[in-house]
Amino acid sequence: MNKQSWLLVANGSEAMIYKYIASGQALEELGGSGNGTRRYKDEDLVTDRPGVMSAGGSNMHGQSALEPAVSPTDKAKLDFAKQVVDEVESARCDSTLQSLDIIASPEMLGLLRENMNKNLLKLINKTVDKDGIDKTEDELLALIAD
């Protein structure tokens, strides 16, 4: 199988993967995914919660013992980043992926990197910390070329 160079474009709610074609002068869309829960507020993601309870004998006065350490929206973003990384990692394991460029919003770029293993991190060629999800293919190529 021919190894490919990919461009991953992502933000907290959408991700698109492109394959470089024509010696890197053009892009071909391979697919994408969306995080539908990203658009909701915390209270929309967590329903029927029990009331606030004391944290017991801890020194954290005024904090609920039942409140999660990570907000539901942050968890949704993290889960989405893991899903995107899993897709790219699958291509790496199948020997499909040769190199990877990433254009992602700063927060998503951090989440993506945190969830990548060292082998996948080695394949990253270039990163751009901007939300490029609404950009045209030509605009994406210009962003990565800068």
Residue with tokens 């993967």: 17
Comparing C-alpha atoms, which of 6, 1, 3 is closest to residue 101? 6
Residue 22 φ/ψ, nearest 5 degrees = 55, 50
Per-residue pLDDT, 70? 74
Cβ atoms within 10 Å of 129's Cβ, excluding its own = 14
Residues of the chain with confidence (pLDDT) below 70: 1, 35-68
**Threshold 0.85, pTM exceeds:** no
Q: Catalogue all structural domains in the chain, each as residue range(s) with its CATH number.
A: 1-39+96-146 (3.30.420.60)
Residue pLDDT, tens place only, 128-142: 999 999 999 999 999
Per-residue pLDDT, 141? 96
Comparing C-alpha atoms, which of 136, 142, 143 is closest to residue 103? 143
